């Protein structure tokens, strides 16, 4: 989940960086500027400014998808990419509800993914779209355990996140374009939670330690894409998602 001690700029990273540069003295005085940075330490802001040219540019192509329901989306209240590319009803949880999605097919809850307030075996699909980059390693394991618990046997946990093959020196910044049919969605993310290499081996180890046995991982333009199944797809008689 997105931590308030980390920077999450989901609308315009460059605009926020410019604001930080112009108003650094204001930050030193403890006043609020830009969005969602009030709890960020000034040293962390300097690191962001130093790394402003270190942006991972990513292009993704995703089909409009009918996810199997019930469907839980973790941390999807900001850019709401999963909502935009999905056709079905879904439940969205987040620590901070950035905005209310005015749709009858969306149910939103303020909730910590490390402690999901759902019964066991509730969902057939769980998704996480660029949420884990805001989560430290130990908390990712806790989230995976909870996802495994609330996922039905044969259900799928689908993840899109940044592929990191070198330990970051500061903030990890992502500029993302998502093509879906005839639409293109743009999103920008920045976080200092990643303190280790996060590659296929990293995610596979944590998922398997959480109980997932059938884990499929691919990369696409700096993005790691994962499908992790609870049990096997034969349990429910359907094939893997496209």
**What is the span of the domain harbouring residue 22?**
13-54
Task: Using a pLDDT cut of 70, give the percent of the chain over it.
Answer: 72
**Residue 91 pairs with which residues in a beta bridge?**
72, 107
Domain boundary among 54, 80, 103: 54
- Exposed, middle or buried, 23 (CB in 10 Å: 0-12/13-18/19+)? middle
For residues 163 and 143, membership in a common domain is answered with yes
For residues 44 and 73, membership in a common domain is answered with no
The CATH number covering residue 106 comes to 3.40.50.150
Mean pLDDT, residues 151-169: 94
Distance CA 34, CA 227 (A): 36
The residue assigned the tokens 């991982």 is: 217
Q: What is the pLDDT of residue 223?
A: 95
For residues 134 and 155, membership in a common domain is answered with yes
How many other C-beta atoms can be found within 10 angstroms of the C-beta atom of residue 10? 19
For residues 114 and 19, membership in a common domain is answered with no
Q: What is the pLDDT of residue 79?
A: 83
What pTM does this model have? 0.76
For residues 42 and 87, membership in a common domain is answered with no
Distance CA 186, CA 15 (A): 14
For residues 215 and 96, membership in a common domain is answered with yes
Q: What is the pLDDT of residue 109?
A: 93
Mean pLDDT, residues 1-6: 44
Q: What does the block give as tokens for 143?
A: 């989230």
For residues 30 and 141, membership in a common domain is answered with no
Number of domains in the chain: 2
């Amino acid at each position: 989940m997105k931590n308030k001690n980390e920077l999450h700029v989901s609308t315009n990273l460059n605009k926020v960086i410019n604001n930080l540069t112009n108003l650094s003295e204001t930050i030193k005085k403890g006043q609020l500027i830009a969005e969602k940075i009030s709890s960020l330490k000034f040293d962390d802001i300097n690191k962001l400014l130093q790394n402003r040219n270190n942006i991972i540019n990513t292009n993704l192509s995703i089909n409009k998808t009918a996810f199997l329901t019930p469907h839980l989306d973790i941390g999807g209240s900001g850019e709401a990419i999963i909502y935009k590319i999905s056709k079905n009803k879904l439940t969205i949880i987040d620590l901070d509800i950035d905005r209310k999605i005015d749709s009858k097919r969306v149910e939103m809850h303020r909730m910590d993914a490390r402690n999901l307030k759902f019964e066991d075996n509730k969902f057939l699909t769980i998704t996480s779209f660029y949420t884990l980059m805001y989560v430290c390693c130990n908390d990712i394991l806790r989230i995976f355990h909870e996802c495994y618990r609330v996922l039905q046997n044969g259900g799928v946990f689908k993840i899109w996140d940044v592929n990191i093959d070198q330990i970051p020196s500061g903030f990890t910044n992502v500029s993302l374009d998502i093509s879906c049919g005839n639409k293109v969605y743009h999103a920008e993310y920045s976080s200092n939670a990643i303190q280790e290499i996060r590659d296929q081996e990293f995610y596979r180890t944590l998922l398997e330690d959480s109980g997932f046995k059938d884990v499929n991982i691919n990369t696409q333009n700096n993005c790691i894409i994962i499908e992790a199944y609870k049990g096997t797809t034969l349990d429910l008689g359907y094939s893997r998602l496209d």
